[in-house]
Amino acid sequence: MFFKKKGNEITYTVTVNGMMCGMCEAHVNDIIRKNFDVKKVTSSHLKNRTIIVSKEELNEDAIKQSIQSMGYEVKDIKKSKE
């Protein structure tokens, strides 16, 4: 999982395995919106990733648990500051 600050925003890029279509992307986006106060969330099953933009830092373990609760695998979590 990567995050970088853009002004007052933090962007998280999460590698997610198991998304197969647009509906899978929507399910992941919905669970993130439901559990976190985010400015923007987008997922791509083709790129196996979810990008989350937030005004404040989010609990990474909670992000992982939320996505995995939907049956998807969060893989290779890495964190880097830019």
Tens of pLDDT along the chain (82 residues)?
Answer: 555 555 678 889 999 999 999 999 999 999 999 999 999 999 999 999 999 999 888 999 999 999 999 999 999 766 545 4
Q: Can you give the CATH number for the domain in which 33 is found?
A: 3.30.70.100
* Domain presence at residue 80: no
* Domain presence at residue 28: yes
Q: Which structural domain, as residue segments, surrounds residue 27?
A: 2-74
Compute, in degrees rounded to 10, the torsion defined by CA atoms 36, 47, 68, 35.
10
> Number of folded domains in the chain?
1
Helix 60-68, helix 22-35: angle, nearest 10: 140
* Domain presence at residue 37: yes
